[in-house]
Structure formats: structure tokens, C-alpha cells
Copies of this chain bind each other. A is one copy, B any other.
Amino acid sequence: MPSFDQIVPLLEQQAIELPSWAFGNSGTRFKVFTQPGVPRDPEEKIADAAKVNEFTGLAPTVALHIPWDKVDDYDKLAGYAADHGVALGTINANTFQDDDYKFGSLAHHDSAVRSKALDHMYECIEIMNATGSRDLKIWLADGTNYPGQGDLRRRQDWLADSLQKVYDRIGDDQRLILEYKFFEPSFYHTDVPDWGTAYAQTLALGDRAKVCLDTGHHAPGTNIEFIVAQLLRLGKLGSFDFNSRFYADDDLIVGAADPFQLFRILHEVISNGGYGTDSDVAFMLDQCHNLEPKIPGQIRSVLTVSEMTARALLVDREALAEAQTAGDVLGANQVLMDAFYTDVRADLADWRVSRGLPADPMAAYTKSGYAEQIVAERIGGSQAGWGA
């Protein structure tokens, strides 16, 4: 097994993008429990995200969600972010909250609605140009609730046509990232339900079209790390949306439900060229802190990804390959488990201190008084949430 010192250079390459929307209110269809101090505008979201980076050194960029994070001046927003020590990242398109999108957006049967959705995508590309963002992430709520409601095949063709139009607009250094999701908010069929569909659709577009794998978007029992390995093999893994789930798309804190699964995913990422500065696979969080406070929720999340990455980096890949080749089932499994069971928390704390960061970012954040400060300051206005 490598020593912790040996993996430090690799750990230093880790960067996890935070979603601006994680700092706003979120909930279920039954209830959104609001929290005091929640941001009221993109700047406040960025300020909160910057705190996560300040205490962890792991989260240098913030993803925006359009139109939730629309501003008049993106240069200014980028400057604001830079002043807070972070940069703007992926632009996430939203074509699911306008009444026109009731029956879909890029896959809608009505070309007028598709046009409207395309215009939104073009606008997102304009924003990318302004912010210098590399990635346009497209998650579509498109689908149907009842058998017969839509034409499964034609919707796929309309989708392909729409995506082509978007792809034609992105720049040479930009990427179109297509996210798949098993179900919700559509219940009978989803137009991009699985990695196979996202793969087939992005393959038809070209090299700058890639797939986003959200860890919560699979059927029960799905071996997610297999998909990771497969997409890396096919050159199509664009980014991760990390979160965790027990049953559906629960959007819980990454690693909270099954840390061993997160470890296995990261093991495949590392083993297949998806990790580090040489790779263009983006690591993002996509979570909802419905009950827990948002900033600590994000701090915990990036620390967990970092911790599991360290464990995955510790896998003795040579010993693993040897055991695999020998058909030594228990031995090969043990190599993985040994890395997973290694407690890296103290070493990571030392490493953080060596980088000028707090040993215990959670405690440091609590002590900082920032939570109390934003509660006190953010009076009035309208708290950010999924609706705005």
C-alpha cells in the first residue's frame, strides 16, 4: 500500500465544484423547510460557497444555475467570486420550471417549445462566454407520466435534433454535458433515463459532448462504478454530480448512505484516468440540504470526497492486479478493503494544516461566527430556492 506521503501530490490535484443551489432552500413536494441566513442572490450564494473553500481548500469553483443565478453583469459576478477566492464554473441550464415545459423542452413534440428551450440554451452559452465557463450541463426533466402520452421514439429524434443545435453553438473549448436520470419528475418515461441514452446521444454529437453521471440517478442495484469505468473507457465521462441516496434521487450528502460505494467509484475513476489535473472529468456536488445547515453540509461533503479519494489512492494497485490475475478472489477483495478501512482522517488533518488550512474545517467554520453573521445580516429580501 502506498504511504500517505506518496498520495499527497495527487490529493493536491483535487478540486470539487459546488452547486450554487445547495446554499438555497430546498425540500420535497411535501414541504420546504426554510433556514435563516439563506442567500437571497447569486452573490450571497457565492460568498457561502467561498466559505467552504476557505475552510477546506478543496472547492475552488461554483456552478451556476440559469435562470436562478441570472445577473446583469457576469464580469462583475466573476470579479465578486474572484474577490472571495473562487471562480465561476459549470453553467446549468434549466428548462423545467416554465409552464411551457409541462410536456418537455428539448424533446417536446411542439417545435415552438423546443425553440424556446433552445433559446435558453443559447443564452446559457452566452453566459458561459461571459464567465469563461467550460461546461454547459444539461439535465432535462423531459418525459411523460402515462403510457401513450408521448411518442418515445420521436421524442428521442427531437432531442437529438435539439442537442445538435446546441452543440453547434458551443465553442471549441467548451463542452456539452448531458445528464441522465432514471425517473422524476416524470414517472412513466424519461427521455434521457440511462447512461446508454446519454452515450448514444452524445456520441452522435462529437468529442466535446460528454455524459454527466449523477450518483443518485440509477435504478436500485445498479453497479455505478461499472458505468464509471465504461464511460471512461469510451471517452465519454464528462462530470460527476456527487450525492447519495437510499432509495430514489434523495440528494443527500455524498457518502452518507454508502461510503464504500463512493470509495469504489473513486477507485474506478483513479484506475481509469479520470482523476487529477490531466483528466478533464469534473467533480461536482449536487445535493439538497433539506434538514441540515447548508454550509456545514457542503463542508462535510467535500471532506468526505477528499477522504474517500485518499482511501482510493491508497489502493495497492500492483497487489490488486496480481491477485486478480491469480484468481485470488479473497486476496483481491482484501486489497480494496485494506485501503477502504484505513483511517486517513488524522493524516488529512495534518495535510490541511500543512496547507494553511484548519485541521478540523467543521469546527473552524462553527467557531468562525459566519453562520450567526449571515443570519443576522440577511434580513428581508427573498431567500433563494428552487423556484427562483
Judging by beta carbons under 8 Å apart, are A152 and B229 in contact?
yes
Residue of B nearest to A325 (CB): B109
- The answer, yes or no, to whether A31 is at the interface (CB within 8 Å) is yes
Most buried by B among A182, A297, A307: A182
Judging by beta carbons under 8 Å apart, are A233 and B157 in contact?
yes
CA distance A245 to B246 in the complex (A): 15
Instruction: Name the interface size band of chain A.
Output: 35 or more
Contact of A343 (CB < 8 Å), options: B110, B252, B327, B342: B342
Report chain B residues within 8 Å CB of A199.
196, 199-200
The minimal Cβ–Cβ distance linking A90 to chain B, given in whole angstroms, is: 19
Residue of B nearest to A180 (CB): B196
Judging by beta carbons under 8 Å apart, are B343 and A196 in contact?
no
Judging by beta carbons under 8 Å apart, are B226 and A256 in contact?
no
- The answer, yes or no, to whether A232 is at the interface (CB within 8 Å) is yes
Report chain B residues within 8 Å CB of A31.
96-97, 101, 141, 185
Judging by beta carbons under 8 Å apart, are A248 and B183 in contact?
yes
The minimal Cβ–Cβ distance linking A155 to chain B, given in whole angstroms, is: 9
Judging by beta carbons under 8 Å apart, are B197 and A152 in contact?
no
Judging by beta carbons under 8 Å apart, are B223 and A246 in contact?
yes
Report chain B residues within 8 Å CB of A325.
109-110
- The answer, yes or no, to whether A321 is at the interface (CB within 8 Å) is yes
Judging by beta carbons under 8 Å apart, are A293 and B188 in contact?
no
- The answer, yes or no, to whether A250 is at the interface (CB within 8 Å) is yes
Judging by beta carbons under 8 Å apart, are A324 and B151 in contact?
yes
- The answer, yes or no, to whether A370 is at the interface (CB within 8 Å) is no
Judging by beta carbons under 8 Å apart, are A248 and B248 in contact?
yes
Q: Name A residues whose Cβ lies closer than 8 Å to a Cβ of B.
A: 26-31, 33-34, 96-97, 99, 101-103, 109-110, 141, 144-153, 156-157, 182-185, 187-190, 193-197, 199-200, 218-223, 225-227, 229-230, 232-234, 245-248, 250, 252-253, 256-261, 264, 268, 271-272, 290-293, 296-297, 300, 307, 320-321, 323-325, 327, 329-330, 332-337, 340-343, 345, 362, 386
A sample of 15 inter-chain contacts (CB < 8 A) reads A27-B185, A31-B185, A147-B256, A147-B336, A148-B320, A148-B335, A153-B271, A187-B250, A193-B223, A200-B230, A256-B333, A292-B329, A300-B334, A307-B341, A341-B345
